[in-house]
Amino acid sequence: MNKFRTHNCSELTEKDIGKNIRLSGWIHRKRDHGNLLFLDIRDHFGITQCVIENKDKNFKILEKLKPESVILVAGDVVKRSKDTENKELKTGLIEVAIKNIEILSEASELPMPVFGEQEYPEDIRLKYRFIDLRRKEMHENIQLRSKILSFIRKKMLENNFLEFQTPILTASSPEGARDFLVPSRLHPGKFYALPQAPQQFKQMVMISGFDRYFQIAPCFRDEDGRADRSPGEHYQLDMEMAFVEQDDVFKVVEPIFYDLFIKFGKGKKVNKHPFPRITYKESLEKYGTDKPDLRNPIELVDVTKIFESDDVKLKIFKEIIRKKGIAKAIPVKNTSSKPRSFFDNLNNWAIAEGASGMAYITFEKSKNKIIGKGPISKFFSEKAILELIKTCKISEQDSIFFVCNEATEAIKFSGIARQKIGEELKLIDNTNFSFCWIIDYPMYQYDEKEKKIDFSHNPFSMPQINIKDFDKSDPLKILAYQYDLVCNGYELSSGAIRNHIPEYLFKVFNKVGYSKSMVEKNFSGMIKALSYGAPPHGGMAPGIDRIVMLLADKKNIREVTLFPMNQNAEDLLMEAPSEVTEKQLKELNIKIIKK
């Protein structure tokens, strides 16, 4: 028999009345009546109320013992009288009359209580993560994460994916995020890098003749954190398939995500697959972002032409448009009766966001004519008003916000404003998971800072044009078989059909200024591998942390991570990063340059 317990803390019921049992767990809560003491004993499974009277030799000891101390309780299961039952508790019909105890581990005074749902500062939670994780909500989030991982594994295996592990110490590569470097003792002056993702390895796996691969892979990127992005490290469901086109990947992934979100989504609806496919271009036009929240019904409309025409006399906009700017309309249904403050507040919000403000127009029907209202309405002719209403597909019940700026800025800000207005008007239905694919990403983009063409996404993606036509095409017009999976405004995954033809890879890299020899040098393993018979292949890598975050209905990734780092990429519990000894440095041939 187990030394510590005969039952766990959620097991005992009326069936066990009269049994002599042992429980072990944390003192969750004490209620001290002076001559009678109630102890809620908690373990991973639940809570059981234990009771002891002052006649008992252990009474004084238990009375003094601090919450969160771990004890072993031996005693009898007794029925609670009707009026003292606790229906909230699974074990609430019984209690344990304490006969004997053993203190297994005594707790000091707590920096934060486990009991209750109070919020606590995050640095304290991270420093004492082991206490934070005892709290109900965190404990459940982490269990959810475990269940999600198991489910994903099961689904992947059912779909004939094999789970492999790939190296953690690998080579630094020039593109992408900043690498974490690990000095090599055996090779002074040389470094390993932690993988930003197992990208090259998974392609090698395909080239090695395995048909489908997956891994719940740690990815290391030395970049700054966000609420939905851990600094330092995160996990991806890395997957790759041989002999597939884009649609084959979608067909495998869609049911897995649908089932996953139905199973763990706490009753929320999930849109049926196939998920909508939205081109990158269309997504920017309609939603102002490549990760649209489709629960928000607002769609942006380009109204540059209307502001350009002589029917609108708004000089500021005309001037911006003359300098190649664009005007975006944000049509919002049923808002014409909103008070002035609604529009003013959004205008103030826009200014606080760094925009010059947000113009708006409302409408009114007067003698069968629709006329514009609001500060800028006087600049519109009757014809322009009608044209606006027609272009934006709205009625006089609705209103329109305008964003006018240089194209990239205008798109970006109208997207942010779309989301803000949607939230403000509570248009976003939080009982939905709304998935879509964003497809047809451009292969390249123009880097304004560096004044040169650069990759817009993954350089290993396959361009959508034939290799023969590549050189004569405008690089900025070339699309790639590159796609993102988006849910509720979060980018859950990137993926691509890979470029498995070395000659084509050289061409692709050449456009951003990489010579053949540079590519051969930087991606030697990859080029070598592709030169001895490589299957066409593709895949993707959904972010595990974000999936769990969505399913746990949290806005912060640290709520679903066991031991996360803070925003400064510090582990407050383990105190990483830390200084190391001179001896360690010497062995690694490293000298610290003090700033």
Partner RNA sequence: GGGGGUGUAGCUCAGUUGGUUAGAGCGAUCGCCUGUCACGCGAUAGGUCGAGGGUUCGAGUCCCUUCACUCCCGCCA
Task: Determine how many CB atoms are found less than 10 A away from the CB of residue 1.
Answer: 6
For residues 118 and 31, the answer to whether their CB atoms sit within 8 Å is no
CA distance linking residue 238 with residue 215, whole number of Å: 5
Q: How far is the CB of 96 from RNA (least distance, A)?
A: 10
Q: How far is the CB of 447 from RNA (least distance, A)?
A: 8
CA distance linking residue 174 with residue 526, whole number of Å: 14
- Window contacting RNA (CB under 7 A); options: 9-17, 116-124, 259-267, 321-329: 116-124
CA distance linking residue 439 with residue 284, whole number of Å: 12
Beta-bridge mates of residue 517? none
- By CB under 7 A, the residues from 11 to 30 that bind RNA are 29
Could you say which of 102, 223, 285, 290 contacts RNA (CB under 7 A)?
A: 223
Closer residue to RNA in complex, CB, 179/396: 179
- Parallel, antiparallel, or unpaired for β 212-221 and 162-163? parallel
Could you say which of 2, 105, 119, 337 contacts RNA (CB under 7 A)?
A: 119
- Parallel, antiparallel, or unpaired for β 232-242 and 212-221? antiparallel
Could you say which of 80, 373, 420, 516 contacts RNA (CB under 7 A)?
A: 80
Q: How far is the CB of 449 from RNA (least distance, A)?
A: 7
Could you say which of 76, 102, 175, 285 contacts RNA (CB under 7 A)?
A: 175
Secondary structure class of 369 (helix, strand, coil): strand
For 472, 499, 517, the CA distances from 465, given in Å and listed in that order, are 11, 12, 24
Q: How far is the CB of 329 from RNA (least distance, A)?
A: 22
Asked if 190 interacts with RNA (CB under 7 A), we say: no
- Parallel, antiparallel, or unpaired for β 94-105 and 70-79? antiparallel
Asked if 333 interacts with RNA (CB under 7 A), we say: no
Closer residue to RNA in complex, CB, 124/133: 124
- By CB under 7 A, the residues from 411 to 450 that bind RNA are 449
CA distance linking residue 345 with residue 343, whole number of Å: 5
Asked if 224 interacts with RNA (CB under 7 A), we say: yes
For residues 165 and 198, the answer to whether their CB atoms sit within 8 Å is no
Whether the upstream peptide bond of residue 274 has omega within 30° of 0, thus cis, is: yes
Question: What region does 558 belong to: left with phi over 0, alpha with psi -120 to 50, or beta?
Answer: alpha
Site string for RNA, 491-510 (x = CB under 7 A): ---x----------------
CA distance linking residue 564 with residue 570, whole number of Å: 9
Closer residue to RNA in complex, CB, 2/35: 35
Nearest CA to 245 among 457, 486, 464?
464
Contacts of 86 (CB under 8 A, 6+ apart): 49, 80, 92
- Window contacting RNA (CB under 7 A); options: 1-9, 117-125, 337-345, 521-529: 117-125
DSSP-H helix ranges across 459-578:
467-470, 502-510, 516-522, 524-530, 544-551
Asked if 88 interacts with RNA (CB under 7 A), we say: yes
Asked if 518 interacts with RNA (CB under 7 A), we say: no
DSSP-H helix ranges across 159-279:
199-207, 246-264
Closer residue to RNA in complex, CB, 115/151: 115
Could you say which of 61, 100, 106, 123 contacts RNA (CB under 7 A)?
A: 123
Could you say which of 45, 74, 99, 122 contacts RNA (CB under 7 A)?
A: 122
Q: How far is the CB of 61 from RNA (least distance, A)?
A: 12
Task: Determine how many CB atoms are found less than 10 A away from the CB of residue 411.
Answer: 21
DSSP-H helix ranges across 23-161:
59-64, 122-127, 129-132, 136-158
Asked if 110 interacts with RNA (CB under 7 A), we say: yes
Asked if 107 interacts with RNA (CB under 7 A), we say: no
Closer residue to RNA in complex, CB, 178/340: 178
Q: How far is the CB of 88 from RNA (least distance, A)?
A: 6
- By CB under 7 A, the residues from 261 to 300 that bind RNA are none
Q: How far is the CB of 437 from RNA (least distance, A)?
A: 17
CA distance linking residue 141 with residue 224, whole number of Å: 24
Question: What region does 112 belong to: left with phi over 0, alpha with psi -120 to 50, or beta?
Answer: beta
Site string for RNA, 455-474 (x = CB under 7 A): xxxxxx--------------
- By CB under 7 A, the residues from 565 to 584 that bind RNA are 566-568, 570
Could you say which of 76, 102, 211, 228 contacts RNA (CB under 7 A)?
A: 228
Burial 319-333 (b: 16+ CB within 10 A, else e): ebbeeebbbbbbbbe
- By CB under 7 A, the residues from 32 to 71 that bind RNA are 32-36, 38, 40, 49, 51, 53-55, 64, 66-67
The site that binds RNA (CB under 7 A) totals a number of residues, namely 70
Start-to-end C-alpha separation, the chain: 61
- By CB under 7 A, the residues from 545 to 564 that bind RNA are 556, 558
Asked if 177 interacts with RNA (CB under 7 A), we say: yes
Q: How far is the CB of 541 from RNA (least distance, A)?
A: 8
Q: How far is the CB of 34 from RNA (least distance, A)?
A: 2
Closer residue to RNA in complex, CB, 121/267: 121
Query: Contact positions toward RNA, by CB under 7 A?
Result: 29, 31-36, 38, 40, 49, 51, 53-55, 64, 66-67, 80-81, 83-86, 88-89, 92, 95, 109-113, 116, 118-124, 126, 175-178, 196-197, 199, 221, 223-229, 449, 455-460, 494, 556, 558, 566-568, 570
